[in-house]
Chain A
Amino acid sequence: MTNKNILNKKIGKHNPYKSQARLAMLFVAPWVLGFLAFSLYPIIATFYFSFTEYNLFSAPQWVGFENYINMFNDENFRYALANSLYYVIVGVGLQIALSIFTAVLLNMNVKGKSFFRTIYYLPALVPPVAGALIWVWLLNPQYGLVNSLLRMVGLPEPLWLSSAFWSKPAIILILLWGVGNTMVVYLAGIGEIPRNYYEAIEIDGGNAFHKFTKITWPLLTPITLFQIINGIIAGFNMFTQAYVVSLTRGRLAADIGGVGNSLLFYAPNLYREGFTYLKFGYASAQAWFMLLLVLLITFVILKSSKKWVHYGG
């Protein structure tokens, strides 16, 4: 007799678990229905649209792989892909490095530890639009606080978001400011590492560097794997910061590329192709290309993870 049958027999007709299960389903239903209607259906529909020319108002016209082929002849698409890859590789790399570094620092036994933890986490709570607006002013080349500080110590003052060269580093700086979310996961991870591992290193005469490279880093690799994949996905989807920054430069919603298209990222470009230029077929193809690209990258990272991720005990 299976466990299920035993359970059923014991509980009999008035099964409180069964009614609870129904209730649970009822509570879950809005999300499931929402997912089916607003996520799954659009996803399947966009797959079909990606092979058509579709402008919302007339019936989609089948064009085969034309949208996918056109992407590679489209300069805006190439800019968007290159900028997003830059953002993902440099941004996510720095984000992880900084998160671990801060988490290790905040794990040290210093006075006011909770205070520092709170301070470093706080920016993660700022809504993305508000955060981007704050940084637009902090990075203002003329009156911004960042350049005032650089001036005080005699360093060169970049033009930040007003320059094609500095605009992406500036956007990455905005990303790094909100590093608290990643940091807090690492902090929890470090807390899980048993103290005696470190004691063993101390007994063997190891120093802080050894502790990090031999204990902390390897035991945090499952978290790092998760953060890398998450970061890549979020990086390709990044919309708000680029959109807000472009709009504050006093331009139309259609002009979302920043100086010399240096801030033309994947999601805003896709949005513009669809909602401004009414090329929903082409935009769908771009969305699917991103999905496949992210899946491929995720797959490669997961494959490689066998070599560098250590699943502790």
Chain B
Amino acid sequence: MKKALSLLAALALSLSVFAGCAASSSSTPQGNSTAGTSAPQGNTKTTTIKFWHTWQGLEAKKFAEVISQFSAVRPDIIVEVLDSSTEEKQLISMTSGDSFDVGLTMDTIANKWSSKGALADMTPYIEANKTDMSNFIKPLLEIGQIDGKQYAVPFTMDTFMLLYNKDILAQAGFTAPPKTFEEFSEMCEAVTKLDANGDYERVGYVPSYPWMNIPTIPYAMGASLYDSQTNKILANSPEVIEAYNVKNSFFSGFYDNAKMIKFRSGLGQYQSAENPFFTGKVAFAVEGEWFPTFIKEYAPELNWDVAPMPVVTGKESQSGAFLQGGMLIIPEASKNKEAAYAFVEWLTSDAGQIPLCVAKGNLPSTYSGLKSEELFNGNASLKPFADYAALPAAKALPAVPFMGEYSTALSAVEDAMYNNQYTPQQAMEKVQKDIQPLADKWAKE
């Protein structure tokens, strides 16, 4: 009996992992706020839609202000906004029978969800409303497409450039930012300083801070991660391996590997005055268009400037920005798809995007938005990013449903590479071996 009881107890306890999954579904979303609550006019029938996005705090507040403008355009649609929503919350909502109607999510997630039938095909609404889809940044728009149908629409966009500390470069005798990766490497070594213990006090650039920015350096070097014609992963192409050689050079060769790992671990919090670019612990940062807004807030005295990413000599025309879009989705489970699309269309128009981009410091996801005077008049620091994003070789992440797995694999080997577990070549061969089967499987579906 004792044994039976113990076994039963073991069974019950080990099952708690299932219960853990169930428990996460009961988490209560926080941060409710409502926008567009204008009273319905006369006898007009109103539709209430739920919009869930991932932004928080001040950004969410600015977003709510922009959304409130929608009620003037469509008083018959009331938008209930829920901020700080996560991927998990959205997933659970979509399967719960009481789904939100419009969601903002990441590019890799939008593609995954649309490939599984979770999202509504917006094509009929796009056709009915005659929305001009050619105005959307093409590589981002493609992320939302499957077999010519549109399941997600890009909304706001990020791109990354090279920010540099002018004072540090001037002390080391440089008057202009690097144009090539050789110059970049040389400048990084020149500004490197040791402290009394022989540890790094300052280095040029740390490629793993604040996170693994996977495609920016490869794209700047003219590499691609995927060939849509042949459905081949290009992780082990010479160009991608060379890009990872460049990344790895900041943790090896001139640099002491263990000391670099130690230095990286001590770098301060990203969105704070302790950010190493603000404190002068690094001379360069590869950062997005929102970062100048951070500088104003946390380090207004910083003497900085921004430049395009370095290039590889002879491959200048292939060098392009990495474009990362937020994606607006309508779940298949939404009961108000028509009203939801009306909101999506308004939000992605210049009237919806520009005021938000000005306030939050983001780029719009449309070609007209990238040229908008209103955008630059409102936030001049966005101009260089908009120009860089408009270069013809700019690319987004590959529009494939296994991009989540692909990017996780890339960032995992990048981390391992900095820890000397793999050479760049080995790291990329491993990703190729792990991810190509997913591409093959997808082709068969």
Q: Taking beta carbons and an 8 Å cutoff, which residues of A are in contact with B?
A: 38-39, 42-43, 46, 55-58, 75, 140-143, 157, 159, 161-164, 226, 229-230, 233-234, 236-237, 239, 250-255, 257, 259-261, 267, 270-271, 274-278, 287, 290-291, 294-295, 298-299, 302
Contacts and interface: CB of A to CB of B under 8 A. Distances in A.
B317 interface: no
B14 A38 contact: no
B88 A275 contact: yes
A164 B421 contact: yes
A254 B10 contact: no
Contact of A162 (B9, B264, B332, B434): B264
A236 B10 CA distance: 12
A40 to B, nearest CB: 9
14 contacts: A38-B19, A43-B15, A56-B95, A58-B117, A140-B265, A164-B419, A233-B13, A237-B20, A251-B212, A260-B419, A275-B91, A290-B14, A295-B7, A298-B6
Given A38-B23, A250-B210, A295 B11 contact: yes
Contacts of B443: none
Contacts of B88: 275
Given A163-B419, A257-B412, A298 B7 contact: yes
Interface of B: 3, 6-7, 9-11, 13-23, 86-88, 91, 94-95, 112-113, 116-118, 199, 209-212, 258, 261-266, 270, 332, 404-405, 407-408, 411-412, 415-416, 419, 421, 434
Contacts of B421: 164, 259-260
Contact of A260 (B10, B21, B404, B416): B416
A17 to B, nearest CB: 26
B7 A39 contact: no
B13 A250 contact: no
Given A56-B91, A141-B265, A159-B258, 6 more contacts: A38-B23, A57-B332, A75-B434, A142-B262, A163-B261, A229-B9
A229 B14 CA distance: 10
Contacts of A159: 258, 261-262, 265
Q: Enumerate the 10 nearest inter-chain pairs by beta-carbon distance, A residue then B residue, closest first.
A: A142-B266, A260-B416, A38-B22, A298-B10, A294-B14, A55-B116, A57-B118, A141-B262, A233-B13, A162-B265
A254 B112 CA distance: 13
A157 B94 CA distance: 48
Contact of B20 (A142, A239, A261): A239
B146 to A, nearest CB: 13
Contact of B16 (A229, A237, A260, A276): A237
Nearest to B3: A302
A281 B411 CA distance: 25
B173 to A, nearest CB: 29
Contacts of B10: 229, 233, 294-295, 298
B18 A143 contact: no
Contacts, number: 143
Main secondary structure of the interface of B (DSSP, over half): helix
Contact of B270 (A233, A237, A250): A250
A278 B112 contact: yes
B378 to A, nearest CB: 30
Contacts of A277: 112, 404-405
Main secondary structure of the interface of A (DSSP, over half): helix
A259 B419 contact: yes
A160 to B, nearest CB: 8
A57 B115 CA distance: 10
A141 B14 contact: no
Contacts of A267: 17, 20
A46 B270 CA distance: 40
Nearest to A75: B434
A281 B244 CA distance: 35
Contacts of B199: 142
Contacts of B261: 141, 159, 162-163
B404 A302 contact: no
Nearest to B430: A75
A141 B415 CA distance: 16
Contact of B18 (A164, A252, A253, A287): A287
B13 A302 contact: no
A285 B399 CA distance: 29
Nearest to B263: A142
Contact of B14 (A275, A295, A299): A295
Nearest to B333: A57
A42 B87 contact: no
Nearest to B106: A252
B404 A291 contact: no
Nearest to B418: A259
Contacts of A162: 261-262, 264-265, 419
B403 to A, nearest CB: 11
A255 B15 contact: no
A293 to B, nearest CB: 9
A56 to B, nearest CB: 5
A252 B109 CA distance: 12
A167 B21 CA distance: 26
A56 B116 contact: yes
A45 to B, nearest CB: 9
